[in-house]
Amino acid sequence: MQRLQLRLGLERLMLLVRAQAWRDGDLATLHPAQQALLAALATEGASLRIGELAERLGVSVASISDSIRTVEAKGLIERAVDPDDARARRLSLTSAGVDAISAIRREDNGLAQLLNVLTDADAASLLRIVQLLIEQAHAQGLVRGTRTCLGCAYFLPYANADTDPERPHVCAYVSVPFAEAELRVDCAEQLAQDDAIALAENVLRFRDRRRG
């Protein structure tokens, strides 16, 4: 019952956010998949090959071809010859694309507006839950190429909890403890944990708040 209500609530929220994105003047002609494509290029901060972009989005190259063509026709992205391989092309945002992504991310847009109601503590709790849900989606093959802390080989959940409960986790990449509120959902330094046993252990440790 509880999970059904949660599912219904989340589905309702997703519909609301999508509907608002479609109504928004600047974004009215951008499908959510096209917005995700622009966001991936913006997050990377550099050009990407089409295959790399597909991997970031967790989809096949074939399935993003239409979106690429559409946003390219709108002047939001551009292609350039890959300096490492003259046969390959790299995609990057144009200045119009940068403006579009700023509109998508502005504080009064869609999901950002809904999240404004949360206290910092609630936002940190939700960020923690989002880590678990994304990892579950990854485990079920629903997404690929996610770059969360929970899926990262450098992540040591609750390894510092006894020393500093306010900063319970450790990022071994920089050997620094950090708070729940500082968990990353899309970290450029992430190294995907490819040891399935270690990943499963980390997920359980994180979920159960087990100290390391």
Applying CB under 6 A, the residues found at the interface with ligand SF4 are 149, 152, 154-155, 171, 173, 184, 187, 189-190
Under 8 Å between Cβ of 195 and 143: no
Specify the residue, 82 or 164, whose C-beta has the smaller distance to ligand SF4. 164
Specify the residue, 77 or 183, whose C-beta has the smaller distance to ligand SF4. 183
Contacts 24+ apart (CB under 8 A), 194-201: 194/153, 195/153, 198/153, 199/151
Distance, CA of 169 to CA of 178 (rounded, Å): 5
Specify the residue, 154 or 177, whose C-beta has the smaller distance to ligand SF4. 154
| Min separation Cβ 131 and ligand SF4, Å | 10
Token pair, residue 91, equals 């995609």
| Min separation Cβ 110 and ligand SF4, Å | 25
Distance, CA of 24 to CA of 36 (rounded, Å): 16
Specify the residue, 36 or 149, whose C-beta has the smaller distance to ligand SF4. 149
| Min separation Cβ 128 and ligand SF4, Å | 13
| Min separation Cβ 166 and ligand SF4, Å | 17
Token pair, residue 61, equals 């190259």
